[in-house]
Structure 1
Amino acid sequence: MQVIKFTNVSKTYKNGTVALKDVNLEIKDGEFVFIVGSSGAGKSTLIKMLLHEEVPTSGEVEVNGFKLSKMKRRHIPKFRRSLGVVFQDFRLIPNMNVYDNVAFALRVTDVSPRDIRRRVPYILGLVGLGSKAKCMPEQLSGGEQQRVALARALVNNPRLIIADEPTGNIDPELSYEIVDLLNEINNVGTTVIMVTHEHDLVAQFNRRVLTIEHGHIIADDSEWRQ
Protein backbone atom coordinates (compact mmCIF):
# COMPACT_ATOMS: atom_id res chain seq x y z
CA MET A 1 0.00 0.00 0.00
CA GLN A 2 1.30 3.44 -0.91
CA VAL A 3 1.83 6.02 1.83
CA ILE A 4 3.21 8.64 -0.58
CA LYS A 5 2.53 9.13 -4.26
CA PHE A 6 3.71 11.97 -6.48
CA THR A 7 2.20 12.00 -9.97
CA ASN A 8 3.81 14.35 -12.53
CA VAL A 9 4.53 16.92 -9.82
CA SER A 10 6.15 20.22 -10.76
CA LYS A 11 6.64 23.33 -8.66
CA THR A 12 7.58 26.80 -9.87
CA TYR A 13 7.65 29.61 -7.32
CA LYS A 14 6.35 33.11 -8.05
CA ASN A 15 9.91 34.42 -8.46
CA GLY A 16 10.40 31.99 -11.34
CA THR A 17 12.47 29.40 -9.44
CA VAL A 18 11.74 25.91 -10.73
CA ALA A 19 12.05 23.62 -7.68
CA LEU A 20 10.58 20.33 -8.94
CA LYS A 21 10.12 19.09 -12.49
CA ASP A 22 7.67 16.31 -13.37
CA VAL A 23 8.44 14.16 -10.30
CA ASN A 24 6.89 10.69 -10.09
CA LEU A 25 7.41 8.82 -6.85
CA GLU A 26 5.84 6.04 -4.80
CA ILE A 27 6.78 5.12 -1.23
CA LYS A 28 5.06 2.12 0.29
CA ASP A 29 3.81 1.53 3.81
CA GLY A 30 6.69 0.46 6.07
CA GLU A 31 9.57 1.73 3.94
CA PHE A 32 12.58 3.71 5.22
CA VAL A 33 13.74 6.15 2.54
CA PHE A 34 16.66 8.59 2.62
CA ILE A 35 16.41 11.68 0.40
CA VAL A 36 19.77 13.18 -0.56
CA GLY A 37 20.91 15.95 -2.87
CA SER A 38 22.90 19.16 -2.94
CA SER A 39 21.63 22.48 -1.59
CA GLY A 40 18.91 23.85 -3.87
CA ALA A 41 18.24 20.47 -5.46
CA GLY A 42 14.56 20.44 -4.45
CA LYS A 43 14.64 18.47 -1.18
CA SER A 44 13.04 21.22 0.92
CA THR A 45 10.26 21.78 -1.60
CA LEU A 46 9.51 18.06 -1.67
CA ILE A 47 9.22 18.03 2.14
CA LYS A 48 6.96 21.11 2.08
CA MET A 49 4.74 19.27 -0.38
CA LEU A 50 4.50 16.30 1.99
CA LEU A 51 3.48 18.63 4.84
CA HIS A 52 1.01 20.56 2.65
CA GLU A 53 2.98 23.75 3.24
CA GLU A 54 3.29 24.10 -0.54
CA VAL A 55 1.06 22.78 -3.32
CA PRO A 56 2.20 21.74 -6.79
CA THR A 57 2.04 24.05 -9.77
CA SER A 58 0.94 20.92 -11.62
CA GLY A 59 0.47 17.27 -10.74
CA GLU A 60 -0.91 15.49 -7.68
CA VAL A 61 0.53 14.68 -4.26
CA GLU A 62 -1.10 11.97 -2.16
CA VAL A 63 0.00 11.27 1.43
CA ASN A 64 -1.63 8.81 3.86
CA GLY A 65 -4.67 8.60 1.60
CA PHE A 66 -5.17 12.39 1.41
CA LYS A 67 -5.06 14.08 -2.00
CA LEU A 68 -3.29 17.26 -0.98
CA SER A 69 -3.92 19.40 -4.05
CA LYS A 70 -7.68 19.11 -3.52
CA MET A 71 -7.68 19.14 0.27
CA LYS A 72 -10.07 21.56 1.97
CA ARG A 73 -8.68 23.77 4.72
CA ARG A 74 -10.77 22.11 7.41
CA HIS A 75 -9.18 18.73 6.68
CA ILE A 76 -5.57 19.93 7.09
CA PRO A 77 -5.38 19.40 10.90
CA LYS A 78 -6.63 15.82 10.57
CA PHE A 79 -4.10 15.19 7.82
CA ARG A 80 -1.20 16.59 9.83
CA ARG A 81 -2.10 14.41 12.82
CA SER A 82 -1.31 11.41 10.60
CA LEU A 83 2.31 12.65 10.38
CA GLY A 84 5.17 12.95 12.83
CA VAL A 85 7.75 15.59 11.90
CA VAL A 86 11.30 16.04 13.21
CA PHE A 87 13.20 19.20 12.29
CA GLN A 88 16.90 20.10 12.33
CA ASP A 89 16.37 22.86 14.91
CA PHE A 90 14.39 20.68 17.40
CA ARG A 91 11.62 23.32 17.89
CA LEU A 92 11.14 22.49 21.56
CA ILE A 93 9.16 24.87 23.78
CA PRO A 94 11.88 26.33 26.05
CA ASN A 95 9.70 26.99 29.10
CA MET A 96 8.25 23.46 29.17
CA ASN A 97 10.01 20.41 30.58
CA VAL A 98 10.59 17.26 28.54
CA TYR A 99 7.34 15.62 29.65
CA ASP A 100 5.24 18.67 28.78
CA ASN A 101 6.96 19.19 25.43
CA VAL A 102 5.88 15.69 24.42
CA ALA A 103 2.47 15.88 26.10
CA PHE A 104 1.74 19.15 24.27
CA ALA A 105 1.37 17.26 20.99
CA LEU A 106 -1.43 15.23 22.60
CA ARG A 107 -3.12 18.08 24.47
CA VAL A 108 -3.66 20.11 21.30
CA THR A 109 -5.57 17.15 19.83
CA ASP A 110 -7.80 16.79 22.93
CA VAL A 111 -6.38 13.48 24.12
CA SER A 112 -7.62 12.65 27.62
CA PRO A 113 -5.30 13.36 30.60
CA ARG A 114 -5.42 9.65 31.46
CA ASP A 115 -4.15 8.65 28.01
CA ILE A 116 -1.47 11.35 28.16
CA ARG A 117 -0.20 9.99 31.51
CA ARG A 118 0.01 6.55 29.95
CA ARG A 119 1.44 7.45 26.56
CA VAL A 120 4.14 10.04 27.35
CA PRO A 121 6.27 7.94 29.77
CA TYR A 122 6.09 5.02 27.33
CA ILE A 123 7.39 7.13 24.45
CA LEU A 124 10.11 8.77 26.56
CA GLY A 125 11.30 5.31 27.54
CA LEU A 126 11.31 4.29 23.90
CA VAL A 127 13.74 7.08 23.00
CA GLY A 128 15.90 6.53 26.09
CA LEU A 129 14.77 9.60 28.03
CA GLY A 130 12.66 8.04 30.77
CA SER A 131 14.83 9.65 33.46
CA LYS A 132 14.76 13.12 31.86
CA ALA A 133 11.03 13.86 32.02
CA LYS A 134 11.40 16.79 34.43
CA CYS A 135 14.43 18.35 32.72
CA MET A 136 14.14 21.61 30.82
CA PRO A 137 15.41 21.71 27.20
CA GLU A 138 18.39 23.90 28.17
CA GLN A 139 19.59 21.14 30.52
CA LEU A 140 19.84 18.62 27.69
CA SER A 141 22.53 17.93 25.12
CA GLY A 142 21.76 18.45 21.43
CA GLY A 143 21.31 14.72 20.95
CA GLU A 144 18.90 14.55 23.89
CA GLN A 145 16.92 17.51 22.57
CA GLN A 146 16.57 15.76 19.23
CA ARG A 147 15.32 12.65 21.05
CA VAL A 148 12.65 14.79 22.72
CA ALA A 149 11.66 16.10 19.28
CA LEU A 150 11.49 12.52 18.02
CA ALA A 151 9.37 11.48 21.03
CA ARG A 152 6.98 14.35 20.28
CA ALA A 153 6.72 13.21 16.67
CA LEU A 154 5.98 9.64 17.77
CA VAL A 155 3.52 10.26 20.57
CA ASN A 156 0.44 10.44 18.32
CA ASN A 157 1.36 7.07 16.80
CA PRO A 158 1.66 8.50 13.26
CA ARG A 159 1.66 6.37 10.16
CA LEU A 160 4.54 8.37 8.70
CA ILE A 161 7.60 10.07 10.24
CA ILE A 162 9.25 12.85 8.21
CA ALA A 163 12.72 13.77 9.50
CA ASP A 164 14.15 16.89 7.86
CA GLU A 165 17.93 16.98 8.45
CA PRO A 166 17.43 15.60 11.99
CA THR A 167 21.17 15.21 12.60
CA GLY A 168 22.17 18.63 11.27
CA ASN A 169 22.57 20.28 14.69
CA ILE A 170 24.05 17.45 16.72
CA ASP A 171 27.53 16.00 17.09
CA PRO A 172 28.52 13.54 14.35
CA GLU A 173 28.98 10.69 16.84
CA LEU A 174 25.35 11.13 17.93
CA SER A 175 24.01 11.18 14.38
CA TYR A 176 24.23 7.40 14.05
CA GLU A 177 22.24 6.99 17.28
CA ILE A 178 19.39 9.15 15.98
CA VAL A 179 19.21 7.31 12.65
CA ASP A 180 19.47 3.96 14.42
CA LEU A 181 16.51 4.99 16.56
CA LEU A 182 14.55 5.93 13.44
CA ASN A 183 15.55 2.55 12.06
CA GLU A 184 14.11 0.80 15.13
CA ILE A 185 10.89 2.81 14.78
CA ASN A 186 10.69 1.73 11.15
CA ASN A 187 11.22 -1.89 12.13
CA VAL A 188 7.94 -1.88 14.05
CA GLY A 189 6.04 -0.67 10.99
CA THR A 190 6.19 3.14 10.83
CA THR A 191 7.17 4.58 7.45
CA VAL A 192 10.21 6.89 7.74
CA ILE A 193 11.37 9.57 5.28
CA MET A 194 14.67 11.23 6.17
CA VAL A 195 16.28 14.13 4.34
CA THR A 196 20.02 14.41 4.89
CA HIS A 197 23.23 15.64 3.30
CA GLU A 198 25.39 13.24 5.36
CA HIS A 199 26.38 10.65 2.79
CA ASP A 200 28.65 8.79 5.21
CA LEU A 201 25.68 8.26 7.49
CA VAL A 202 23.43 7.02 4.69
CA ALA A 203 26.09 4.53 3.64
CA GLN A 204 25.88 2.79 7.04
CA PHE A 205 22.25 1.79 6.53
CA ASN A 206 20.98 -0.56 3.85
CA ARG A 207 17.93 1.47 2.90
CA ARG A 208 16.32 2.97 -0.19
CA VAL A 209 17.94 6.26 -1.25
CA LEU A 210 16.41 8.89 -3.53
CA THR A 211 18.84 11.40 -5.03
CA ILE A 212 17.45 14.74 -6.19
CA GLU A 213 19.28 17.17 -8.45
CA HIS A 214 17.89 20.25 -10.20
CA GLY A 215 14.32 19.27 -9.32
CA HIS A 216 14.56 15.75 -10.73
CA ILE A 217 14.91 12.39 -9.00
CA ILE A 218 18.06 11.22 -10.75
CA ALA A 219 18.57 7.97 -8.81
CA ASP A 220 16.41 5.58 -6.80
CA ASP A 221 18.57 2.93 -5.17
CA SER A 222 17.52 0.12 -2.83
CA GLU A 223 21.07 -0.02 -1.48
CA TRP A 224 23.48 2.89 -1.68
CA ARG A 225 27.21 3.22 -1.14
CA GLN A 226 29.49 6.15 -1.90
Structure 2
Amino acid sequence: MSTAERKYAGDSAHTRSLRRRTALVDVALTEMAENRWRTATVQALCQAAKLNKRYFYESFDSLDALADAVIETIAAEVTEVATGGYLPLLDRPVREQARGAIGAVIDLLGADPRKALVLLGGVPTTPMAHEKRTAVIAGLTAALIAHARTTHDVSLEQDSLAATAPAFVIGGTTQTILSWASGDLPVTRDRVVDDITALWMTLERGATDLARARLASRADETR
Protein backbone atom coordinates (compact mmCIF):
# COMPACT_ATOMS: atom_id res chain seq x y z
CA MET A 1 0.00 0.00 0.00
CA SER A 2 1.39 3.40 -0.97
CA THR A 3 1.86 6.29 1.46
CA ALA A 4 -1.07 8.15 -0.16
CA GLU A 5 -3.34 5.17 0.50
CA ARG A 6 -2.38 4.61 4.12
CA LYS A 7 -4.92 5.50 6.73
CA TYR A 8 -4.40 7.57 9.84
CA ALA A 9 -6.94 7.31 12.67
CA GLY A 10 -9.24 5.47 10.28
CA ASP A 11 -9.14 8.12 7.52
CA SER A 12 -7.36 7.89 4.18
CA ALA A 13 -4.91 10.56 3.04
CA HIS A 14 -7.51 11.78 0.54
CA THR A 15 -10.17 12.13 3.24
CA ARG A 16 -7.82 14.07 5.49
CA SER A 17 -6.82 16.35 2.62
CA LEU A 18 -10.47 16.98 1.75
CA ARG A 19 -11.23 17.78 5.39
CA ARG A 20 -8.39 20.31 5.50
CA ARG A 21 -9.57 21.91 2.27
CA THR A 22 -13.11 22.17 3.61
CA ALA A 23 -11.83 23.80 6.81
CA LEU A 24 -9.92 26.42 4.82
CA VAL A 25 -12.94 27.15 2.62
CA ASP A 26 -15.10 27.61 5.71
CA VAL A 27 -12.63 29.96 7.37
CA ALA A 28 -12.26 31.94 4.15
CA LEU A 29 -16.05 32.16 3.86
CA THR A 30 -16.21 33.79 7.28
CA GLU A 31 -13.45 36.27 6.42
CA MET A 32 -15.16 37.20 3.17
CA ALA A 33 -18.62 37.51 4.74
CA GLU A 34 -17.28 39.74 7.52
CA ASN A 35 -15.46 41.94 4.98
CA ARG A 36 -11.96 41.06 6.18
CA TRP A 37 -10.76 39.32 3.04
CA ARG A 38 -8.58 42.17 1.78
CA THR A 39 -6.38 41.83 4.87
CA ALA A 40 -6.42 38.03 5.01
CA THR A 41 -3.14 36.13 4.98
CA VAL A 42 -2.31 32.48 4.49
CA GLN A 43 -0.86 32.34 8.00
CA ALA A 44 -3.95 33.83 9.64
CA LEU A 45 -6.34 31.59 7.72
CA CYS A 46 -4.35 28.49 8.65
CA GLN A 47 -4.32 29.50 12.30
CA ALA A 48 -8.10 29.98 12.24
CA ALA A 49 -8.51 26.57 10.60
CA LYS A 50 -6.08 25.04 13.10
CA LEU A 51 -3.82 23.85 10.30
CA ASN A 52 -0.12 24.00 9.60
CA LYS A 53 0.65 26.57 6.91
CA ARG A 54 2.04 23.93 4.57
CA TYR A 55 -1.42 22.40 4.26
CA PHE A 56 -2.73 25.53 2.55
CA TYR A 57 -0.60 24.82 -0.52
CA GLU A 58 -1.79 21.25 -0.55
CA SER A 59 -5.10 22.54 -1.98
CA PHE A 60 -4.52 26.12 -3.15
CA ASP A 61 -1.74 28.00 -4.88
CA SER A 62 -2.93 31.45 -3.81
CA LEU A 63 -5.52 33.37 -1.79
CA ASP A 64 -7.36 34.15 -5.03
CA ALA A 65 -7.67 30.44 -5.72
CA LEU A 66 -9.18 29.95 -2.26
CA ALA A 67 -11.63 32.83 -2.82
CA ASP A 68 -12.68 31.23 -6.11
CA ALA A 69 -13.17 27.92 -4.34
CA VAL A 70 -15.45 29.57 -1.77
CA ILE A 71 -17.74 30.99 -4.46
CA GLU A 72 -17.64 27.82 -6.54
CA THR A 73 -18.57 25.75 -3.49
CA ILE A 74 -21.59 27.91 -2.67
CA ALA A 75 -22.66 28.02 -6.31
CA ALA A 76 -22.48 24.24 -6.55
CA GLU A 77 -24.59 23.92 -3.41
CA VAL A 78 -27.18 26.37 -4.76
CA THR A 79 -27.37 24.53 -8.07
CA GLU A 80 -27.72 21.18 -6.33
CA VAL A 81 -30.50 22.23 -3.97
CA ALA A 82 -32.37 24.24 -6.63
CA THR A 83 -32.30 21.27 -8.99
CA GLY A 84 -33.35 18.96 -6.21
CA GLY A 85 -36.16 21.38 -5.39
CA TYR A 86 -37.85 21.35 -8.76
CA LEU A 87 -36.89 18.06 -10.48
CA PRO A 88 -39.34 15.99 -8.38
CA LEU A 89 -42.06 18.45 -9.45
CA LEU A 90 -41.65 18.29 -13.24
CA ASP A 91 -45.11 16.77 -13.57
CA ARG A 92 -46.58 19.60 -11.50
CA PRO A 93 -47.53 23.16 -12.55
CA VAL A 94 -44.68 25.62 -13.19
CA ARG A 95 -45.65 27.58 -10.07
CA GLU A 96 -44.97 24.55 -7.89
CA GLN A 97 -41.67 23.90 -9.64
CA ALA A 98 -40.62 27.51 -9.07
CA ARG A 99 -41.68 27.39 -5.43
CA GLY A 100 -39.72 24.17 -4.90
CA ALA A 101 -36.52 25.65 -6.32
CA ILE A 102 -36.90 28.99 -4.53
CA GLY A 103 -37.69 27.35 -1.21
CA ALA A 104 -34.65 25.09 -1.43
CA VAL A 105 -32.31 28.02 -2.16
CA ILE A 106 -33.88 30.12 0.60
CA ASP A 107 -33.33 27.28 3.07
CA LEU A 108 -29.69 26.87 2.08
CA LEU A 109 -28.76 30.56 2.21
CA GLY A 110 -30.98 31.30 5.20
CA ALA A 111 -29.29 28.57 7.22
CA ASP A 112 -25.90 30.20 6.61
CA PRO A 113 -26.19 33.94 5.81
CA ARG A 114 -22.45 34.04 5.10
CA LYS A 115 -23.15 32.22 1.86
CA ALA A 116 -25.81 34.73 0.83
CA LEU A 117 -23.51 37.66 1.57
CA VAL A 118 -20.61 36.26 -0.42
CA LEU A 119 -22.49 34.77 -3.38
CA LEU A 120 -25.11 37.47 -3.83
CA GLY A 121 -22.88 40.52 -3.47
CA GLY A 122 -23.55 41.64 0.07
CA VAL A 123 -19.87 42.27 0.71
CA PRO A 124 -17.02 43.51 -1.51
CA THR A 125 -14.52 40.95 -2.76
CA THR A 126 -11.38 40.88 -4.86
CA PRO A 127 -11.71 41.64 -8.59
CA MET A 128 -11.18 37.98 -9.45
CA ALA A 129 -13.79 36.83 -6.94
CA HIS A 130 -16.20 39.45 -8.27
CA GLU A 131 -15.74 38.07 -11.79
CA LYS A 132 -16.40 34.57 -10.51
CA ARG A 133 -19.54 35.73 -8.70
CA THR A 134 -20.75 37.56 -11.80
CA ALA A 135 -20.23 34.41 -13.86
CA VAL A 136 -22.28 32.41 -11.37
CA ILE A 137 -25.19 34.86 -11.55
CA ALA A 138 -24.95 34.82 -15.36
CA GLY A 139 -25.13 31.04 -15.23
CA LEU A 140 -28.27 31.13 -13.12
CA THR A 141 -29.82 33.58 -15.58
CA ALA A 142 -28.94 31.31 -18.51
CA ALA A 143 -30.49 28.35 -16.71
CA LEU A 144 -33.70 30.30 -16.18
CA ILE A 145 -33.76 31.30 -19.85
CA ALA A 146 -33.29 27.66 -20.87
CA HIS A 147 -36.11 26.58 -18.58
CA ALA A 148 -38.40 29.31 -19.94
CA ARG A 149 -37.80 28.06 -23.47
CA THR A 150 -39.20 24.68 -22.51
CA THR A 151 -42.45 26.17 -21.22
CA HIS A 152 -43.22 28.86 -23.81
CA ASP A 153 -43.67 29.21 -27.53
CA VAL A 154 -40.25 29.21 -29.22
CA SER A 155 -41.34 32.21 -31.24
CA LEU A 156 -41.15 34.29 -28.05
CA GLU A 157 -37.37 34.03 -28.26
CA GLN A 158 -37.55 36.61 -31.03
CA ASP A 159 -38.44 39.27 -28.46
CA SER A 160 -35.89 40.98 -26.21
CA LEU A 161 -37.94 40.00 -23.16
CA ALA A 162 -36.70 36.44 -23.62
CA ALA A 163 -33.37 37.64 -22.22
CA THR A 164 -34.38 40.75 -20.28
CA ALA A 165 -37.03 39.13 -18.08
CA PRO A 166 -34.85 36.28 -16.71
CA ALA A 167 -32.00 38.72 -15.97
CA PHE A 168 -34.48 40.97 -14.15
CA VAL A 169 -35.90 38.01 -12.22
CA ILE A 170 -32.49 36.75 -11.10
CA GLY A 171 -31.33 40.24 -10.10
CA GLY A 172 -34.44 40.98 -8.07
CA THR A 173 -34.49 37.51 -6.54
CA THR A 174 -30.87 37.64 -5.41
CA GLN A 175 -31.37 41.04 -3.79
CA THR A 176 -34.53 39.87 -2.02
CA ILE A 177 -32.87 36.71 -0.71
CA LEU A 178 -29.84 38.71 0.39
CA SER A 179 -32.04 41.19 2.29
CA TRP A 180 -33.98 38.36 3.93
CA ALA A 181 -30.91 36.31 4.88
CA SER A 182 -29.26 39.45 6.30
CA GLY A 183 -32.30 40.15 8.48
CA ASP A 184 -33.22 43.36 6.67
CA LEU A 185 -36.47 41.92 5.31
CA PRO A 186 -38.72 41.14 8.31
CA VAL A 187 -40.91 38.39 6.86
CA THR A 188 -41.10 34.66 7.52
CA ARG A 189 -39.41 32.04 5.41
CA ASP A 190 -42.71 30.83 3.94
CA ARG A 191 -43.81 34.38 3.16
CA VAL A 192 -40.63 35.29 1.29
CA VAL A 193 -40.86 32.04 -0.71
CA ASP A 194 -44.51 32.73 -1.54
CA ASP A 195 -43.80 36.35 -2.46
CA ILE A 196 -40.85 35.56 -4.74
CA THR A 197 -42.84 32.78 -6.40
CA ALA A 198 -45.80 35.10 -6.95
CA LEU A 199 -43.55 37.77 -8.46
CA TRP A 200 -41.92 35.21 -10.75
CA MET A 201 -45.27 34.01 -12.03
CA THR A 202 -46.67 37.52 -12.40
CA LEU A 203 -43.67 38.62 -14.42
CA GLU A 204 -43.76 35.43 -16.47
CA ARG A 205 -47.39 35.99 -17.48
CA GLY A 206 -46.91 39.69 -18.11
CA ALA A 207 -43.71 39.24 -20.13
CA THR A 208 -45.24 36.43 -22.17
CA ASP A 209 -48.34 38.47 -23.01
CA LEU A 210 -46.28 41.52 -23.91
CA ALA A 211 -43.90 39.52 -26.11
CA ARG A 212 -46.80 37.93 -27.97
CA ALA A 213 -48.41 41.33 -28.48
CA ARG A 214 -45.16 42.74 -29.85
CA LEU A 215 -44.71 39.83 -32.22
CA ALA A 216 -48.31 40.13 -33.43
CA SER A 217 -47.85 43.85 -34.00
CA ARG A 218 -44.70 43.30 -36.04
CA ALA A 219 -46.47 40.64 -38.06
CA ASP A 220 -49.32 43.05 -38.81
CA GLU A 221 -46.86 45.71 -39.93
CA THR A 222 -45.26 43.37 -42.47
CA ARG A 223 -48.55 42.43 -44.11
Q: Under TM normalisation by the shorter chain, which class is it?
A: under 0.3
Q: Which has the higher contact order (CA 8 A, sep 6+)?
A: 1
TM-score by length of 1: 0.27
More helix by share: 2
Higher relative strand content: 1
Larger of the two Rg values belongs to structure? 2
TM-score, L = length of structure 2: 0.27
